[in-house]
Amino acid sequence: MDERLVALEGLLASPFFKASDRNRRFLKFVIEETVAGRADRIKAFTIAVDVFGRDASFDATVDPIVRIAAGQLRKSLRDYYDNHGKTDLIRIGMPLGAYIPSFERSSKSERFWQQFSGVTRFLQKRLMSLAILILPVGLVAGWFYAPSGEWRFAREEMRPVVIVDSARTPSEEADIAGLSRQLNNALWVEFARHNGVRLVGVRADENLDSVVAGVKRDLDAGARVYKLMTTVQREGDELNVYWHLVDARSRETYYSSYMTTQLSSEERGALVANIAERVEASLFRYGGVMEQYSSKAGVIANNVRE
């Protein structure tokens, strides 16, 4: 995947990037057009029509919507990169007087990773001999005898459990209900890429609280258990998807987010896959709350996927 699109995904998935859904669509449109080699199409007219739904009679001299949105977007980008995005590898911008995005490698990010790499090499050298001494002890201590009479490796039991609730919808429309069922399967495909967590599914005819109670009953009191709840709502031609990651024991909400997309003639399979990937990215990539539990193989697989 083009690194500019990777940077875009990370930016949109970050809870610290404060921008309206309209301006997020604006940014996504101009970046995707640029990456596709169609930067010459990025004009106020095309943005107004393709992003903001204006008709062919749009006149930028009368309707300033694109200019206003661009100003808001520039401020959102500046606020993000001046604070939580300081260490992002690529900094996305929108120069004044134009709508074609700019991309630059952050010098702060490069200095950060250079310093981090230097510290890592130092620790590797200093701890190598110590690791040789500790390893045999750790291997022995890592095993324990379970009540069932089986020997298990402790690290396996340390993996958190994510209870994936069936995507719900208040809509009685058959196509939205079917889309929610498709989203369930797509979420499983995305989440299964991460070996660092254990997954438990909730069927549409099951009660989430009952499943949570059963899982907690079968685990140690200190085991980490989370539940992911997803809701799909239709509002006219727009589809709103909300998701929440909640600690099943304390009921503390670790992460909440949503996305809005157009219900157009787009192939439903591609639409659902895009939603599921967005949910997965917000939790498992780019500093997401579950990123620390992602397996190395899972992360690599997601980063190279087209």
Domain 154-304 annotated CATH 2.60.40: no
Cβ atoms of 261 and 270 closer than 8 Å: no
Asked whether residue 306 carries a pLDDT value surpassing 80, the answer given is: no
What is residue 4's three-state secondary structure?
helix
Asked whether residue 7 carries a pLDDT value surpassing 80, the answer given is: yes
Give the CA angle between residues 225, 226, 230 to the nearest 5°.
Answer: 155
* Cα 16 off chain centre by: 13
Would you state the pLDDT for residue 143? 41
The average pLDDT across 133-151 equals 44
Helices (H) and strands (E) in the chain, counts: 10, 9
What's the N-to-C CA distance of the chain in angstroms? Answer: 5
Would you state the pLDDT for residue 224? 83
Going by their DSSP bridges, the two strands 151-153 and 102-105 should be labelled as unpaired
Residue-averaged pLDDT of the chain? 77
Asked whether residue 67 carries a pLDDT value surpassing 90, the answer given is: yes
Going by their DSSP bridges, the two strands 198-201 and 225-235 should be labelled as unpaired
Asked whether residue 222 carries a pLDDT value surpassing 90, the answer given is: no
Model confidence over 177-219: pLDDT tens digits? 888 888 888 888 888 777 778 888 887 778 888 888 888 787 7
- The overall pTM is greater than 0.85: no
Integer CA distances (angstroms), 59 to 48, 62, 63, 71, 285, in order: 9, 5, 6, 18, 40
66-90: buried (b, 16+ CB within 10 Å) or exposed (e) per residue?
A: beebbeebeebbeebbeeebeebeb
Would you state the pLDDT for residue 249? 81
Going by their DSSP bridges, the two strands 161-164 and 198-201 should be labelled as parallel
**Cβ neighbour number for residue 288 with a 10 Å cutoff:** 23
